[in-house]
């Protein structure tokens, strides 16, 4: 293959890497390329991913005020995508303003220079954005730009790259599994007194969404969702499966006490979100919702139940899942680096 070592329509430009063309976002066709890469990367890493051009478009729409062309860089080999990086701004309940960097590289291009080049571009682009944020008052005067980057245990090269670039581990999330064959042996705990399960109807969606958001406000890295995110959630044809949800209602107040949202990918039942509002915690509701959600697995013909959890979850979810028999599959360590942003006078 002829080496392509140019970088086009990117600011700042990316130093050449043999065999790759670095470029910016060019339009909807890139949604397909990114979805193809995410599925291929997950398959190579023995993970599940059901990305589509539509889901990628929804994800990239959440750039927190940045134009997609400003926050996305792609590495193309021939006519296929080898890697890409994107970043966006988040305002988290506990960490304040952070810049989230998502770097995705196919295994064949890891440690080949593409990953380091794209991460370097993202940091330079974040630094420029942070300088503008500082000038507008979004970022505090003299404050560094906090960059947060998730990794995965299936990609040790990315972990090595982040650590080499000065990122430090700040959190670990885990993916856990429960074989469907073992679900029938689980005895569902009783619901707390005064709480009942009802089918989710369209008139309930907003209350269910708001209750879930409230339940996660005291969790690490929480970001208050926007109205656009709510509308995108409703429109997600694959993940939005209310017929598989388990929603607990407080009979006295008529409020949502907790819920478990589920959907199916391939032959796995995923519990996307399991939440209990603060007033109903420590009463066994989380365990009851988990048992009810997982109990659907045999009837759906899936091989296992999967979920993701913060290993330091303040509600002790990690311990609860292990008590139920869930096993660790993989981990997603999250790294942080505070970029020093020179002042306009030229010194840090």
List, for residues 188-222, the tens digit of each pLDDT value.
899 999 999 999 999 999 999 999 999 999 899 99
Residue scoring higher pLDDT (77 or 11): 77
Task: Categorize the per-residue pLDDT at 187 as very low, low, confident or very high, splitting at 50, 70 and 90.
Answer: confident
Instruction: Please give the pLDDT value at position 209.
Output: 98
Burial class (CB in 10 A: 0-12, 13-18, 19+), 276: buried
- Domains of the chain, start order: 7-165 (3.40.630.30), 174-333 (3.40.630.30)
Given a contact cutoff of 8 angstroms between Cβ atoms, the answer to whether 122 and 87 are in contact is yes
Say whether pLDDT at 1 is over 80. no
Instruction: Please give the pLDDT value at position 292.
Output: 96
Strands in the chain per DSSP E: 7-8, 21-24, 72-77, 80-92, 96-105, 145-150, 168-179, 195-198, 246-250, 256-265, 268-276, 304-310, 327-339
Say whether pLDDT at 173 is over 60. yes
| 86-95, 148-157, 249-258, 261-270, range with the lowest pLDDT | 86-95
């Amino acid at each position: 293959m002829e080496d392509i070592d140019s970088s086009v329509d990117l600011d700042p430009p990316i130093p050449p890497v043999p065999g790759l063309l670095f470029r910016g976002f060019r339009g909807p066709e890139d949604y397909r390329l990114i979805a193809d890469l995410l599925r291929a990367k997950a398959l190579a890493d023995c993970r599940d991913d059901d990305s589509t051009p539509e889901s990628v478009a929804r994800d990239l729409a959440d750039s927190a005020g940045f134009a997609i062309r400003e926050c996305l860089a792609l590495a193309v080999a021939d006519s296929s995508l080898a890697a890409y990086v994107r970043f966006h701004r988040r305002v988290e309940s506990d960490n304040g303003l952070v810049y989230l960097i998502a770097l995705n590289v196919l295994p064949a291009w890891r440690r080949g220079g593409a990953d380091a080049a794209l991460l370097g571009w993202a940091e330079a682009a974040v630094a420029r954005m942070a300088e503008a944020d500082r000038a507008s008052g979004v970022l505090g005067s003299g404050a560094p730009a906090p960059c947060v980057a998730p990794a995965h245990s299936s990609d040790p090269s990315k972990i090595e790259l982040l650590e080499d670039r000065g990122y430090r581990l700040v959190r670990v999330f885990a993916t856990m599994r429960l074989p469907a064959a073992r679900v029938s042996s689980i005895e569902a705990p009783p619901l707390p007194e005064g709480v009942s399960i009802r089918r989710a109807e369209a008139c309930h969606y907003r209350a269910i969404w708001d209750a879930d958001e409230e339940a996660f406000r005291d969790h690490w890295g929480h970001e208050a969702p926007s109205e656009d995110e709510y509308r995108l959630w409703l429109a997600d044809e694959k993940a939005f499966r209310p017929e598989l949800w388990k929603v607990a209602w407080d009979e006295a107040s008529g409020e949502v006490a907790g819920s478990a949202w589920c959907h199916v990918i391939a032959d796995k039942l995923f519990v996307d979100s399991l939440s209990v509002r603060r007033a109903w915690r420590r009463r066994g509701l989380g365990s009851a919702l988990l048992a009810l959600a997982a109990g659907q697995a045999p009837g759906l013909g899936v091989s296992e139940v999967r979920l993701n959890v913060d290993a330091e979850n303040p509600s002790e979810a990690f311990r609860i899942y292990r008590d139920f028999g869930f096993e660790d599959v993989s981990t997603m360590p999250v790294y942080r680096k505070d970029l020093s942003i020179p002042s306009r006078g030229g010194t840090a």
